[in-house]
Amino acid sequence: MTKKVKLLNFLVIVMSEVKVTRGSQITLTQEVREKIGVKEGDRVTLNVVDGQIMVTKKDPEVFETEGFLPEEFESSLKEMRRDSSDRLERIDE
């Protein structure tokens, strides 16, 4: 059973009641799948907040780390750590 609720003039909430199977699976209704743009084979993320589940389509680019950090990050990090060690030694003196 799917129910639409219109809040304000721009927000439409789609509520869908589904049954949990013996294998702990649920089936997203067609309307919900269409609303969040999920097709067969897509991955979704389930977030549980205060006893409620939010289902979102997983964006594969969000978790891509290639090129996220600059190439010289490792050397910069080592230098920062070395600098902090020097500062700590000077504080102890």
pLDDT (tens digit per residue) in 56-82: 888 766 656 667 777 788 888 888 777
Q: In this predicted model, what pLDDT tens digit does every residue of 44-53 receive, in sequence order?
A: 888 898 988 8
The residue count of the chain comes to 93
Which DSSP category does 19 fall into?
P
Would you say domain 2-57 falls under CATH 2.10.260?
A: yes
In the chain, where are the structural domains located?
A: 2-57
Closest to 3 (Cα-Cα) out of 11, 13, 15: 15
Q: In this predicted model, what pLDDT tens digit does every residue of 1-42 receive, in sequence order?
A: 656 555 556 666 778 888 999 999 999 988 888 888 899 988
Question: Rounded distance, CA 2 to CA 79, Å?
Answer: 57
| Widest distance between CA atoms in the chain | 72
